[in-house]
Structure formats: C-alpha cells, structure tokens
Structure 1
Amino acid sequence: MAATPALVPRQHIQDHANAASIQPHWGYADRVVPCVNDVGSCKYLDAVYDAHDVGMYYTGIIWATFAGILLLWAVARHLAPSQPPGVQMPLDADEQVKEKGRTWARLHRAAASCSRRYLLPDAARVIFGRVTRTQVLTLVVLTGYLAIFSFAGIVYGKWVTPVKNMPGVYNTRSSLGPWSDRVGVIAYALTPLSIMLSSRESILSLVTGLPYQSFNFLHRWLGYIIFAQSLLHTLGWTLIETWLYQPQPKVAVAWIKQLYMIWGCVAMILLLLLVLLSTPWGIRLTGYEFFRKAHYVLAMVYIGACWGHWHQLQVFLLPGLLVWFIDRGARLVRTALLHYNFLPSGHMGFRATPANITFFTDATNGDIVRLDYDHPQDAWAVGQHFYLTFPESSIWQSHPFTPLSLPIFGADTQRHSYIFRAKKGETKKIAALSAKRAARSNSHEESHESLMADARLSVLMTGPYGERTMSDLSPDSNILCIAGGTGITYVLPVLLDLATRPQSLDRRMSLIWVIRHRKDLDWVAPELAVLKKRCPNLRTGIHIYVTRAAEDADPSAPAVSEKATANACTEEISPAPSHSQSSSASLSSALSVHGIAKADLALDHYQARPDLAALVPEFINTTARGRTDVFASGPGEMISDLRRVVASANRGGQVWKGEDRCDVRLTCDDRLEW
C-alpha cells in the first residue's frame, strides 16, 4: 500500500507496504491493522495508540474543566446580590429572608477576610516576583492538575524487539514513547489557553470580571509549563531515536532528516527564545518594547512551526491563531470607533486628538509630562485605563495610562488628564518632544521647576480596559488611598468620585501621597484643591510625604531633627484662594489647569517616608463603623508592604462576629513606579 505524507513520521515502525487496512486515530498518525510486526512491537504499538487516544480524551476533560469553572464563575456573578455587603434589606421584606441574607453576607465577608489574611501577601519573590499567594496557589493547582493527566492512562512497560534482517540487533521500546507523546499533546492543547490569558480584549475578563492584567502571571508561567512539556517531549524522543532504537547512527540520521522533525527543532528553538526573552533578565537586557514586538512575531512563527511539526493537532493551533487575530482586530476597531468623530470641516472622519502639554523638568529622576484634552465619548469607569499611542513619535507602540480625571456620566465630552514619568524608550521620546514643543511655545523664560505652555501633541486612544474599582464599594466603607509618585493618577479618581456623592459623617477618608520633591505637587494641584473644597471627609486627611525635602531646602535653614523626621506628616492642604479656585475650574488650557501655586496649598514638608505598618492600622482603629477599602498605586516595594500590612489586619473570625473593621480590602495597581 502506498505511503501517504501523513504516515511518513511512523513508517520506520509500521509496515505500510503490506497493510491490510488503515485505522485513523484523531491527532495521530494512522495505524496499520492488523499489526504485521513482531509480537513485542505490536504490544508496544497497542500501548502507544491507546495512550494517545486516552490522552486526547484527557485534553477534552481539561478544556471541559476550564469551561466548567468559567461557567460556574459567570453564574455566581449573575446570582450574586446586587447590593454590596453592608447594605440593609428593605424593612418590609420577610424577616426570615432578611436574616438569611444577612447571614450569607456575613459568611461571605468572613471567608473573604480569612482568605486575604493568608493569600494576599507576596509569595516567594525570588521565584515568582511580586505576586500574591493567591496567584501562586492557582498556578500550583493548575500544575498539579496537568501533572495527573501527564501520567494517567499509560501502560508502563518495556519491550525488546529484534531489528529486521539484522540478527543479534534489538530495539528497546518502552513507555517513554507514549509518555513523551502525552506531554507533547498537552503542550499543544494549552496553546490556545496561553493566548487567551495574554489577550487584552479578553473573553476571560468578560466572564470573570477580572481585569486582563490579572492573567499575565498565569500566561507567563503557563508558557514555562508549555516549554517544560515540550522540552521533555523532545528529550524523550531524542533518547529513543538516538539510543534505544538500533542500528545507530543510521536510525537517528534518518529520523532527524524528516520534515516534521526539522519543524519540531525550529519550534523548540523559537520556544526557547520566547522563554529567555520573557524572563526579567531578558526584558531588562533587550528592553520592554523589543520584548513585546519580538514576543508577537516569535509566537506566531512558533505556532506555524508547531503546525509543520504535527499538523494532526491543528485543532489546538487554529483556535489560538483566531483568538490572537480577533484580539488585534478588536483593538483596531475600538480605536477607530473612539476617533471617528466630526472633523473641523464638519464632515465625519478619523482624527487623532490634540492634547495640551505641561512639561515638568526633573533631570535626576526623569521628566514628567502631563496631558490634558477633551474627547467626545462615553464615560469610562473609575479605575480603568487607556492605551495611548503618539503618532508623532511612533504608531507601533502604545502604553497604558490611568486617567486622573473623573469621568462624567451623561456628558457628551470627557476630560482626559494623564501624567507619566519619562524614564526610557517611548516615554523618554515623548518627553523630549513635549519639552521641545513647550519650550518653543513659551514667549518668556520659565522657572526651572516646569515648562507650562499651550503646546499640543496628537494622541490616539484604545480602551477603556481594566477593573472598575468603585463597582462593589459599600456606602459605609472607609477609604484609605496611598500613592507613590505618579501612582496618584490611580487613587485620585476614587476620591474625586466620592466627592460627588453624598457624604456620610461616619465615613473616614484619607490620602497618603509620597513624592520626592515639593515641586511635584504641581502635577495635580487643581485636583487636590477640588478635593479640599468638595469633600468634607477629606479636609483633615490629606498627608503629603516629601522624601527628598532636604534637596529643596535652603542650605542656611536649620536642619529637621531626627524626631521630627521620624514622625513626619504634612499638615492638611488649606483651601486655595478664590483666584486659584476659579483658575482650576477653567480647564481650557494646560496653563490654567496648573494655575495653582504651591504657596497657595500651605504645605509643610519633611524628609520622611510613611510607616505603612503603623499608619494603616491607625487609620483602621479610628474608624467608626464599616470595613476599610485601601486603594494603592506605586513602586513594587510599597505594594508588597501594603499587601503584608492589609493581610495582617484581616481577621475572618472577628468579621463573622460583626467586627467590620477587621474586614480590610486592598485594590492596587502596581504597574507604575515612583
């Protein structure tokens, strides 16, 4: 019987020329039946094909498990009470129903508090980086689940078989073959999941409600699992073909020359490059932008190489490609819809948004750029972010930024305000371009602290993305916002949103902001003045820590004592004068946005860092009632400290007994740095 291309990879095992019939096996080479080889080889082939068929069923079970978890998650979200915990049910409701609802809510909050106490802190940072124990626990469960299917359903044994026409020469066939095939199949089966975990337009986010960036950790480590499985698959068959099969090196040379093996080697090399470039060392060495672009290209070529290596498993590769292209297409569509508006000519068309630039010089730590512009669109949710592209610099790069401005629901036009620090790469190029335009637009010499001018920069947006931080906030929750540097953009919208709501006298609110220099207050001075004016709960709760105040101080001034430094906390911000308030109310240009002077804010500064281990419990212990929600953004060290502090403040047993202050939640954005 003539051999077909699909049978070539197994011709050295089976006698296709004398086959009576061919038995198809999904995802594998067709089998010759009845087996005309020696008894040992036939038993080995039975083990190989049985293990493969069972393995294909297992891949179905794996995906069914994933789908079942998502289905249960979606149902639980749908059936969850619409009212956040702590909200009382109507008085005219049945008493038994009310009591049952209160008991369930209390149990839910106690269980959540208990899990935060043990699962919120960072896991082994040396191995996993700054991720919570919850994420690592999820990874451990997934790894254990996959390990079970990697070994189950395989007949383990060894069969020594003679080589045809070579007396005294024997092949050693063992369960290493079917096991190597099994881990290879599972690696293929996990490819679509890996791509889904990396998607920005994520179906996982739609189902679970978790922001897409929550899946980045699993995406990275699932890639490591796929690499480990592929490496074991490669090593297993290399050992079989170069040592256990005879005669050598004839068998090994014939094996490696086959087209499917060439593609397999290419796929393994590409996968190795993907892993190396995705490590923290690889990203630091090549730069994040190179990593992103190289990751996309290598991943697509890798999938193509996998297709060439074993096209019978294209059932797992095609969905991965479709998910990737759908994600890319959705991003383009969202950008097009955001920017398809009325042009100055009165016609409809695509147009980039011109943004006002405010440039703050900082030669030591990286310059700061503030962008302000109005754009006709629907309001986003507080906590969400946009990806911004600056076509005057590059259309191939986009960066995530959280708007510090408050979205106004029902308004035709939304105000966008962003601040970011230029360190390197694209943000440094944008800062240089902004500084050049700001300097060109100034008609007179500006101060060394900042360059403020009516300069413009074109912006393209995609979004919004991310979590809705205010979606399940209880009316009686106490709010503690902690930010480091430009992380203020994440927490300010929370406070600005609360300032527009009715204020409860029992609700306690506080803002702790850590900055390097006193001049950094200029970044968000108007927003701070608005909070002082419109949020009575916050008038005595704004605390600014200046970590390098000594660098700004007059050398002739007396030094701050160690005791004052250790207990340093700035006084609350005083209401700005009327001319500053009217200036901040007018947001027509970058100059008017920043019309508030530092002197009008009446701040005292100390060279100190906040002791979060003391400040957070102090805030919690002074609350009248209700739980505490902590919102934070800043450097990784600060986020790690907060996770540990908040975790220790949670006590599920006390929450069950009605001690709401022992229920402390942390919502953080650790994408930003100082």
Structure 2
Amino acid sequence: MVPSSIFLCSVILIIRAVRGEGYQVYTKNPASNCVEGINDALTEVTFGDIDPDAVYYTGLCNSVYHTTSLALSTMKWCTTQKQKDKGWKLMNHYCEEYGSVSLPSWEELSSKVNQSNLIEDVNTVDPTIIGTVFNSTIVLSEEAWWAGQHTDDVWTTEEGYHHGFGWGLYILVGLAILFGTLNRLFAVFVRSYSASVSSPQEVSPFSHKSRWYTMYRKHIEVPALFGYKHSQASAWGFLSIPTRIQGLFIFGYVALNVIFTSVGYHTFYENVYWYGQKDTQIIRYLSDRTGIMCFYNLPLLWCLAGRNDVILWMTGWSYSTLNLFHRWVARIAVLQAIVHSAGYTWLERGYIAVEMKEQYWWTGVIATIVMSLLIPFSVRPFREKFYELFLLIHIVLALVTLVTCWYHVKIWDGAYDPWIWASVAVWAMDRVIRVIRGIVLTYKALSKSGINTKATIPWSSSDQKGLIRLTITTSIKIIPQPGQYYFIYTPYSLKPWENHPFTLASWTVNANDTTLNFLVAPLKGATKRWQKKILKNQERQIDMRLLLEGPYGHTNPVEQYDKVLFLVGGSGITSILPYLYKLKLISIQVPEPTIREIRVIWIVKDQNYAKDVLDNELREYVDMGACGDIPTKVDLYVTRGGANGQQDLVGSLGYDTTESSPTSASSSPGITSTPMIEKIESQNINEPSTDTNNDGELSTSNSDMELGSSASKEKITKSVGLTIHQGKPIVKDLVHQSVNGLVGSERLAVSACGPSKLMDDARASVCEIYGNGENQVDGKRIEYFEESFCW
C-alpha cells in the first residue's frame, strides 16, 4: 500500500504543477488584462501597415500603427504601473513566441508617435467602425477600453471557474475518502465498545450514540438506494443499484458536476470576441467548461479502476464499490466530452470541412466517439457474459482515448498534459505493482523446475466433472486471512496475461513458505482447460506452475461476535471456508474465544456439488458438529432432485441412517432430511429455480412442516452437524431465528455470499430488524457483511 499512497501524492503534485497563463484559479483578475483588453479592442479594426498574409502576431507586432496605438492607449487607460508592466511583458511574450519579433517598450513607442496624425477617442466596438482600416495611430475611447478589458476579465474569470470547479471535484473525492475512513473507524469503535459491554443493563455514556449508529445502519449504510435490489441488476439488467450511502456519494458527485457545469457564466453585449452574441458566448464557455472538467475526471477514472489503491485500505470499501464509482465517473466524463464536442461543432458549423483537416479537431472527434463507445461496451450484461472480450475492448478504447486526447490538446503547448500523464502514470503504476506482487509471491514458479501447484478433481459425474482443488505453494512465507482473493496467472500458456480472481479456501503456514488451497468451479476459458487436462490423467491429478497476484480483499471481523450466521448459495460456500478455518484456529489458540456458535445456511441446486464439498472441506465440521471447539451447525437446502435424490445424497455421505417422524427429528442430533411439504410439491423443483420475492419463496419453517403428510419420514444419521432440507428457505425467517436466539448482550454477525437475490434478501432482512421496536435490535448487536466481487 505504501507505493500506492506515494504515487497518489505524486499525482496530486503533478496536477498542482500545471502552469501557464490563463490556467490558474484566480481569486481576482490578473493585472495584465488591461493591456490585453486594449489589444483585443484594437483588433476590432485594422491598420494599413499590417501585412494581410502575415501570421496574426507577426502582423500586429510589426505594425507601427497598431503598436503605437497600443502604447498610447496603455498610457491613458492602465492607471497602475503594475498593469502596464505586466501587460506589456505578456504582449512582448506573445510577439516573441508567436510572431518572432520583440516588442519595444511602451515608453519608446509613445515617444515616436506623430501627434499630427493621431486620432483620439476611437470607439472600435461601435458597429459602424468595426472593420475600419486606419493609416494612423489611434487612442481608444473609454467605451472601447472598457469593452476590451471587461472581455478579458470575463474570460479569465471563466477560466478560473473552469479549473476551480475541477479542483472542487477533487475536494469532493477527498471528503468522500475522509468520510469513508471515519466511518470505518467509527464502526471499529462501536464493535470494540459493544464487545466490552457485559450486559444489556449496563449503563453507557455512549448509549445515545448507539441509537444514532442503529439509525445510521438501518437508513443510510446498509439498505439499497431504493427498493431492495442492490446485488441484483436493475433497469432491465443494465444497471447496478448502489447502497444508500454509495448513492449519496454518487448523487453528490453527479450533482456537483451538473452544478459546476451550469453556473458561473457571465455574458454581455459588448464582448469584443463575440459582439452582440450572448448565445455564442454561453456555448463557448460551456464547451470549455465541460472539456476541462472532463480532463479533471480522467485521473479519477484511472485511480478508481486499479486494484492497488490506497483508497481501499483507508476506507475499507470493496473493489466492487470503487468499481461502481469508476463507472459513474466514466458516465459523467463521457457526457462532458459529448457536450464539449457538440458545442464546438455548433460554434464552427460553417467551417467543419476546414477544421477536419486540423489534427486537434479530428483527434478530438475520435476521442469523443471512442469514449462514447466505452459505455455500451461496459453495460452489466456484456461484462458478465463476455468478460474477456469486454476487458480487451475496454483496454484498447481507453488507450485510444488517452492518445487522441493528448493530440487534441497538443496546441496548448503542454498545458493539459499533466492530466494525461497522471492517468498514464496511474495505469502504469498499477500494472507495475501487479507484476511485482506476482513475482515476489510466486517467483519460483518461473524457474525450470518451478512446479508449485497440484490440481486435482477427486469426484465427477456424468453431468458435471467436479470441482478443481488447487494447492499452490508460495515462494515466500505469508499469513493469509479470510476474505482474501488472489488473481491466478498461467505464465507459460498462450495467454499469460489472462488472470481471474479466486477466493482462498484454507491455508497452511510452513517454515519458509505457505500452502494456499483454492476451490474452483470450472466454467470456461482457463478453468475449463484445466479440467480437461486433469480428467485426461488417470489419477485425476496434474502438476502445474501458476503465478499468484495478491492478496486482495478485506477480512470481516466475525470473530468479534458471539454468534455467526453464514448465508451462502451455490459456490458461495467457498467464501466462508476460510472463515471457518480461521475460527477453528482461534478456538484452538484462544482459551475462551468470543464466538460461541456458528450456523451455516447453504442453498444449493446440485446435489453432487453439495456432496463433493461435504465429503471434503465441510466433512470435519459436520462430523464433529463443531469448528474446533465452537458448536457449528450446517443447514443444507437442496432445491433440485426431489425426495428420492435427497435420500440418495444422505446415503452417499457414508453415514449410518435411521428413520423417524418429523417431530422426533427436531430434537434428535444429526443429519436430517426434512420431508417434502405440500407447498414445495406444488412446484416442479426439477426445473431450474428462479428468483422470486419472499411471498413466492419455498419454506421449510415449522408451520409449513405441519402441512406435510403425517406419514412422511426423515433419515437421521449419527452426524451431529448437518441438517438437509428440501426447497428454499425464507431468508428473513432465518435471520429472525438467529436474532431471537441471542441471549443477554450477545451479538450476531450475518455474512452473505451467493446469488444476487440471496444477498439482497439478507440485506433487506437485516435492515428490517434494526431498530428499537418489538423484535428489533440495535446496530451494535447485529451487523451485516457481504462477500461479493463484481466486475
């Protein structure tokens, strides 16, 4: 994390180093505006000694009439010496830089004026005079001088707003990071304080803060922004709804961008750049504002897209949260680019064919088109179904965006390059850190004898080939933690850059290295190739060399709670295995651990999948009914296969079974298969299960069991840690049961991982139970954790 923090500080310093006239945030207009304004007012007319074929500043700076008119008007209207010196220095810079000629001092020029050929009090902004050719020196009238200086004052003020509002976005991001950090510290304080309370009757000077925390958790931090969907896709599957606290930050960011884009414009009729064209002035300022703010958003885009980010460490936010912010910054930046391009297209509508020949113009067009394409190629359905293609397209389009943006602003002599290079630096540093982490962690895999991985499939069936178990030995000794995940590379494959995240299941710390165990469900791509290769081996095992990059993720402090409820679906079981492993180690190492009970609710469609995990990773816990010395119960809900298939599953686990009635089963220890109830029988559970609301979910509650046939039987085994149910549970009932089981000041941690609907149900159930009413508890007694990873 240290390199990340140093790097972010460097980015800020780079951006703060932006220099160049007109690109500072002014608290007042520069003194040079007096002379610049006079020059602008003089250009409303022309002089007979200006070469019409000369470059703009070459013609002006070589014109005796123009330069002497500038000198005399400066003497008359610029009242302070600072205005004269600053302004003349700037004009001389323009003449030398763009006209290749030095401008004499205004005193020298004024002394050479032929007074007999002098015309005073000329209003160059008068429509009847604009464009007039003078063959003599002139002195501006007060109206012309005011119009010129006011034009430059408004211009520099607008430039100040453009950049000031851009910095405002960085301030907002800084405040969000500060808030996230304080929120993390406050949550740690509440958990630590709650753990020190021995009874609910204990009087606390912070009891009112606990109520605030409860309301904060119930109404701000935990719930979805609206409705109850957060993990599930909304808006026809194209959008992810943020949580309420995420929504507040997103709303603040979007609102500030809209406000900053909409305010701070000043137009006036006598503007010498666009005389009498207030609409044109607005469009020009709006186009500049959106273009500049888009550039301010570029480094934010790249910062929020990286894996190695100090923001994650400071705030405790997940990668998914930062990725959500990244997508919203991208949407605003693209919208700003479109408005910027549309505005300039309107301004130059009569010269499009000519402008398209200019590099800055056509590169800007490409940049806007490419940025716009990033949005449809990043929608959630496309990301989830075609991730590898999405990633390739995303990287290519992002690279083209940066290159074309660099050429687009090249005419500004590097004034905007810091934003481009800051984005490049963020991207490059993230990749460098990835490579370093991967090499340091598993560098021995790159040697000729660098076999560091054993991949096995201990089970298979006709319809599913089984889970892959990877045992990877690191090159250095590390101490893993639950909740961590690693990106796995195959360095000697055809696509060595391809990598995917895998959650750590368990580990063994050795003398000089660490053995990490992963449970992989083969889908497609690399995992499918691994599966085929393993199955070709008669022993169903192969040796491999893999590179690991990590660890990433964060650990939820479930060990600080008295009871833990794990709600998992399908392959989400892999997320809780490392927690069970750690809690077992804690129970062995700590004489009296805080945690007193663990309950695992596992909802699974495939019985063979369930059998595989129960036979291996969960075997110890269901055999002993404990995780170390901590009482542990696993409730398995099988949603497919019917009663016969369920009985086959019970038998295949290798336990001795007996039969009993449902009523006796409730009091008997062991592995239990609940009977099929009428509500479940009404649905064909051999069909794929679909997401439904709570009213349509399948239930195995006691009231439902009474509706079943009295002749139904259950299979009881000698195991004390497993109960098998058929159908889907009601998540809300499971959470309420666990809360009702709390005694005294006991606290509950609810951790969910699995299908999106399961996590949304868990989130909504916890939010509902927060409060001070009947059957509700305060925020320090129950906390919700979510294990999820979203692209």
Alignment of 1:614 with 2:733, yes or no, is yes
Alignment of 1:441 with 2:538, yes or no, is yes
Which of residues 653, 657, 666 in structure 1 aligns to 2:784? 666
What do the CA deviations read for 1:592-627 (whole angstroms, capped 9, x no partner)? xxxxxxxxx9x6755412221222212211222433
Structure 1 unaligned blocks of 5 or more: 1-5, 25-29, 91-95, 243-247, 443-452, 577-600
Instruction: Give the equivalent residue in structure 1 for 2:196.
Output: 88
Conservation of the 8 A alpha-carbon contact between 2:583 and 2:628: no
Alignment of 1:181 with 2:288, yes or no, is yes
Q: In 2, distance between residues paired with 1:349 and 1:83?
A: 50
Instruction: Give the equivalent residue in structure 2 for 1:125.
Output: 234
Q: In 2, distance between residues paired with 1:476 and 1:75?
A: 22
The two structures, once aligned, show a CA RMSD in angstroms of 4.4
SS at match of 2:556: coil
Distance 1:82 1:639, change over 3 A: closer
Alignment of 1:481 with 2:566, yes or no, is yes
Distance 1:454 1:423, change over 3 A: closer
Instruction: Give the equivalent residue in structure 2 for 1:371.
Output: 470
Q: In 2, distance between residues paired with 1:157 and 1:47?
A: 9
SS at match of 1:187: helix
Instruction: Give the equivalent residue in structure 2 for 1:305.
Output: 404
Following superposition, the deviation at residue 190 of structure 1 comes to 0.8
Q: In 2, distance between residues paired with 1:670 and 1:74?
A: 21
Which of residues 497, 504, 513 in structure 2 aligns to 1:403? 504
Distance 1:362 1:271, change over 3 A: farther
Deviates more, 1:558-567 or 1:475-484: 558-567
Conservation of the 8 A alpha-carbon contact between 1:388 and 1:462: yes
Which of residues 311, 319, 330 in structure 1 aligns to 2:422? 319
Alignment of 1:513 with 2:602, yes or no, is yes
Deviates more, 1:553-562 or 1:192-201: 553-562
Following superposition, the deviation at residue 130 of structure 1 comes to 5.0
Matches within 5 A, 1:474-553: 475-502=560-587, 507-520=596-609, 521-532=611-622, 533=624, 534-535=626-627, 539=631, 541-550=633-642, 553=645
What do the CA deviations read for 1:156-183 (whole angstroms, capped 9, x no partner)? 456798999xxxx999732111111101
Instruction: Give the equivalent residue in structure 1 for 2:249.
Output: 138
Distance 1:85 1:654, change over 3 A: farther
Which of residues 271, 277, 296 in structure 1 aligns to 2:371? 271
Q: In 2, distance between residues paired with 1:177 and 1:633?
A: 51
Conservation of the 8 A alpha-carbon contact between 1:74 and 1:208: yes
SS at match of 1:382: coil
Conservation of the 8 A alpha-carbon contact between 1:636 and 1:670: no
Instruction: Give the equivalent residue in structure 2 for 1:193.
Output: 300
SS at match of 1:514: strand
Instruction: Give the equivalent residue in structure 1 for 2:546.
Output: 459
Conservation of the 8 A alpha-carbon contact between 1:161 and 1:173: no
Q: In 1, distance between residues paired with 2:716 and 2:261?
A: 60
TM, length-normalised to structure 2 = 0.66
Instruction: Give the equivalent residue in structure 1 for 2:678.
Output: 562
SS at match of 2:617: helix
Q: In 2, distance between residues paired with 1:82 and 1:411?
A: 37
Distance 1:660 1:365, change over 3 A: farther
Which amino acid counterpart does residue 407 of structure 2 have in structure 1? G
Q: In 1, distance between residues paired with 2:250 and 2:729?
A: 34
Following superposition, the deviation at residue 111 of structure 1 comes to 3.1
Conservation of the 8 A alpha-carbon contact between 1:340 and 1:349: no
Conservation of the 8 A alpha-carbon contact between 2:218 and 2:768: no
What do the CA deviations read for 1:288-309 (whole angstroms, capped 9, x no partner)? 1121122122212211211111
Instruction: Give the equivalent residue in structure 2 for 1:3.
Output: none
Following superposition, the deviation at residue 479 of structure 1 comes to 0.6
Which of residues 413, 418, 423 in structure 1 aligns to 2:523? 423
SS at match of 1:511: strand
SS at match of 1:441: coil
Q: In 2, distance between residues paired with 1:513 and 1:494?
A: 15
Instruction: Give the equivalent residue in structure 1 for 2:380.
Output: 280
Higher relative contact order (CA 8 A, sep 6+): 1
Alignment of 1:18 with 2:63, yes or no, is no
Conservation of the 8 A alpha-carbon contact between 2:451 and 2:544: no
Which of residues 284, 290, 294 in structure 1 aligns to 2:389? 290
Q: In 2, distance between residues paired with 1:238 and 1:68?
A: 36
TM, length-normalised to structure 1 = 0.76
Conservation of the 8 A alpha-carbon contact between 1:183 and 1:232: yes
Conservation of the 8 A alpha-carbon contact between 1:476 and 1:626: yes
What do the CA deviations read for 1:418-477 (whole angstroms, capped 9, x no partner)? 2222233333333333333xxx233xxxxxxxxxx332232210000011112xx46344
Distance 1:341 1:367, change over 3 A: closer
Q: In 1, distance between residues paired with 2:606 and 2:699?
A: 18
Which amino acid counterpart does residue 421 of structure 1 have in structure 2? A
Conservation of the 8 A alpha-carbon contact between 1:490 and 1:632: no
Following superposition, the deviation at residue 384 of structure 1 comes to 0.9
Conservation of the 8 A alpha-carbon contact between 2:636 and 2:724: yes
* Residue identity (%): 21
